[in-house]
């Protein structure tokens, strides 16, 4: 063998760190890379501000006048602000899975799958970067709501809002990745993405309280993670907002859902290249 001195095998015998350290390192590596891409193309996120603006400025104003929806002391626009934040985060996250189909077509996914990184880290890394995308929506909604003179909370609660935005965003983007792993083609994915957003949005407490729903729909709404996200956001974001389930309950439910989804999606991940 003609090796240069100092470069004899085994060259890659690096000390193994513990699983958790490696898991966190790989998750961070994936999220970091996604954010670097995002930083080069921030305009994409601004275009996402249009839809929530329409909901708040058109739908909210009209329904606020009707006074058809019992929102207690709160006026209707104030009631729906946290719901619209959750909704616009959901709409971005639910199409995030298509990125895995792109990466499959580019051959990047195959390379990631043969690397020693745990699959759960591949999934969670993507989910967290989607979470950061969601944060941009928080900025948009805070601006819009201020323009509408909604009385927002600006204290320490903002940190809570950011936490729940990242959590919700991570949940729905992971769900989206799982769907992408099952349908495998862009065309089918776009069709299904459209179908999925509506039930998540309407079977939740985003734009009306659970109390006015018929029983069967309320059951669905209580199985819908979006309801818990909105519940927490409503308490944290607007003055006079209250939680139905309690913040720590909301938090635990969302974390459990995220963990479950990451585990399932990590199992499904190799599916997309078959």
Partner 1 sequence: MLSADGGLTGYENLLLFARLYGIPRAKRRDRIIDALQFMGLGEAERTLVRNYSGGMIRRLEIAQSMLHRPSVLFLDEPTVGLDPVARHAVWQHLHELRTQFGTTILMTTHDMEEADELCEVIAIMHRGRAVAVGSPGSLKKQVGADADLDDVFIHYAGGAVDEGGGYVDSAWIRRTIKRLR
Which spans of this chain sit near partner 1 (rule: CB under 8 A)? 1-4, 7-12, 14-17, 22, 25-26, 29-30, 33, 36-37, 40-41, 105-108, 110-112, 115-117
> Minimum Å distance from CB 54 to partner 1?
30
Cβ closer to partner 1: 17 or 159? 17
Please list the alpha-helical segments (H only) found in the chain.
Answer: 19-40, 43-46, 50-54, 60-66, 76-94, 98-106, 108-114, 119-147, 157-183, 186-202, 215-223, 225-237, 247-268
Cβ closer to partner 1: 29 or 53? 29
> Minimum Å distance from CB 39 to partner 1?
10
> Minimum Å distance from CB 190 to partner 1?
20
Residue pair 138/161 in contact by the 8 Å Cβ criterion: yes
Cβ closer to partner 1: 24 or 135? 24
Nearest CA to 23 out of 109, 108, 123 is that of: 123
Measure the CA–CA gap between 245 and 243, rounded to whole angstroms: 6
Cβ closer to partner 1: 142 or 269? 269
Measure the CA–CA gap between 75 and 14, rounded to whole angstroms: 60
- CA-angle at 242, arms to 238 and 243, nearest 5°: 120
Region of 67 (left: φ > 0; alpha: ψ -120 to 50; beta: rest) is: left
Cβ closer to partner 1: 121 or 203? 121
> Minimum Å distance from CB 158 to partner 1?
31
> Minimum Å distance from CB 19 to partner 1?
12
Cβ closer to partner 1: 18 or 214? 18
> Minimum Å distance from CB 102 to partner 1?
10
Helix (H, G, I), strand (E, B) or coil at 239: coil
Radius of gyration of the chain (CA): 21
Those residues whose C-beta lies under 8 Å from the C-beta of residue 67, and which sit 6 or more positions away, are: 76
């Amino acid at each position: 063998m003609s090796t240069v001195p100092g470069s004899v095998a085994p060259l890659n015998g690096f000390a193994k760190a513990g699983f958790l350290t490696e898991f966190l390192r790989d998750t961070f590596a994936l999220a970091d890379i996604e954010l670097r891409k995002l930083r080069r193309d921030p305009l994409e996120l601004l275009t996402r501000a249009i839809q929530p603006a329409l909901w708040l400025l058109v739908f909210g104003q009209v329904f606020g006048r009707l006074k058809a929806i019992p929102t207690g002391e709160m006026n209707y626009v104030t009631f729906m602000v946290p719901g619209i934040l959750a909704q616009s985060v959901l709409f971005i996250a639910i199409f995030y899975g298509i990125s895995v189909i792109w990466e499959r077509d580019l051959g990047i996914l195959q390379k990631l799958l043969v690397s020693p990184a745990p699959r759960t880290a591949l999934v969670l890394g993507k989910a967290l970067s989607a979470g950061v995308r969601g944060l941009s929506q928080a900025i948009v909604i805070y601006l819009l709501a201020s323009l509408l003179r909604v009385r927002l909370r600006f204290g320490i609660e903002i940190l809570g809002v950011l936490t729940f935005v990242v959590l919700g965003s991570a949940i729905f983007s992971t769900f989206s990745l799982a769907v992408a792993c099952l349908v495998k083609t862009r065309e089918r994915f776009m069709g299904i993405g459209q179908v999925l957003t509506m039930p998540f949005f309407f079977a939740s407490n985003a734009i009306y309280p659970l109390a006015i729903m018929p029983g069967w729909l309320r059951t669905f709404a209580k199985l819908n993670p979006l309801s818990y996200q909105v519940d927490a956001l409503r308490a944290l974001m607007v003055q006079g907002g209250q939680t139905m389930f309690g913040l720590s309950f909301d938090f635990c439910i969302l974390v459990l859902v995220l963990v479950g989804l990451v585990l399932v999606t990590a199992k499904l991940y190799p599916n997309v290249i078959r």
